[in-house]
Amino acid sequence: MKANEIRKMTSSDLEKELVEKKSELFKLRFQLATNGLDNPMKIKNTKRDIAKIKTILKEREIAEEE
């Protein structure tokens, strides 16, 4: 997921996406522990997506305060 795509989403959509990504990360970690994960890079990419979403939500929060 690219930052431009994330910025186009509304804050409520971003919060929903954040919950989905966190549950996806949990499932990926569980698969890694049970040796069922094909591509370990999925964990890294999911973590990055979560960080991007959190960053943009924080930017919007700061912009509202100003």
For residue 7, what is the domain's CATH number?
A: 1.10.287.310
Report the pLDDT value the prediction gives residue 36, as an integer from 0 to 100: 87
- Residues in the chain, pLDDT under 50: none
CA 11 to chain centre: 13
Report the pLDDT value the prediction gives residue 49, as an integer from 0 to 100: 96
Helix (H) or strand (E) holding 12: helix 11-33
Report the pLDDT value the prediction gives residue 64, as an integer from 0 to 100: 93
Residue 25, token pair as written in the block:
């990360």
Tell me how many domains the chain contains: 1
Range of the domain at 41: 3-65
Report the pLDDT value the prediction gives residue 60, as an integer from 0 to 100: 95
Residue 43, token pair as written in the block:
């964990």
